Amino acid sequence: MKKILAFAGSNSSTSINQRLLDHITGRIQGHEIKMLQLTNFPLPVYDEDIERESGIPMNAKIIHNHIRDHDALIIAVNEHNGTASAFFKNIIDWLSRNQKNFLEGKKILLVSTSPGKRGAKGSLDYCRDIFGRFGGDVIESFSFPSFQDNFEDAKVTNEVLDMGIEDVLTTFAHQIEA
């Protein structure tokens, strides 16, 4: 049994990415899953003057410790203007200042959704790229398009998308057990 940490990169109380993440983690069997609410760990906007004067904020160190203590990650990333939200980018900035390879040795399942047909693909691609710079291994990713049209009552209503999620989860489970 592997320890999996799951979190959404959104700070919205009505996040559709959090809803998708809840659904996906609910489908995983045989592993210990911890959900982390990043909004419980407020961070100032990254500024090298703050870092120089005050050091790395304790909340960045706490998030890093959660990541370090798990074997794999499931991250749901939202999208603002075609890329990761400022909220999530700021967390990445602080984590990378705390330790450049903060994702080293972590196998990652990356998912995204949006109301539109691209399913936050821009943010997904951005995170897939940047996570490698910090030592992470994105072994699977899934972009879920048109959230409101394909998800209702905590369930995927589109059979093709549901099968896609199942395929991604199967591959992810095999990879983290290897």
Is this prediction's pTM over 0.85? Answer: yes
What is the full DSSP assignment across 45-112? PP-HHHHHHH-S-HHHHHHHHHHHT-SEEEEEE--BTTB--HHHHHHHHHHHHH-TTTTTT-EEEEEE
pLDDT at 56 over 90: yes
Q: Report which secondary-structure segment, H or E, holds 167.
A: helix 159-177
Domains in the chain (CATH in brackets) are: 3-177 (3.40.50.360)
pLDDT at 103 over 80: yes
Please report, for residues 10, 24, 102, 156, 177, the alpha-carbon distance to residue 13 in angstroms, rounded to integers and kept in the order given. 8, 18, 27, 21, 33
Instruction: Tell me what the mean pLDDT of segment 70-81 comes to.
Output: 96
Residues 6+ apart with CB under 8 A from 40: none
pLDDT of residue 35: 98
Give the 3-state secondary structure of residue 139.
strand
Residues 6+ apart with CB under 8 A from 160: none
Structure tokens at 99: 């330790």
pLDDT at 122 over 80: yes
pLDDT of residue 178: 77
The per-residue pLDDT for range 140-152, each reduced to its tens digit, is 999 999 999 999 9
Instruction: pLDDT band for 60, please (50, 70, 90 cuts).
Output: very high
Going by their DSSP bridges, the two strands 32-35 and 3-8 should be labelled as parallel
For residues 178 and 176, what is the distance between their CA atoms, to the nearest angstrom?
6
Both ends of the chain: CA-CA distance in Å? Answer: 11
Eight-state DSSP code of residue 5: E
Going by C-alpha positions, the residue among 23, 39, 7 that lies closest to residue 144 is 23
The per-residue pLDDT for range 7-52, each reduced to its tens digit, is 999 999 999 999 999 999 999 999 999 999 999 999 999 999 999 9
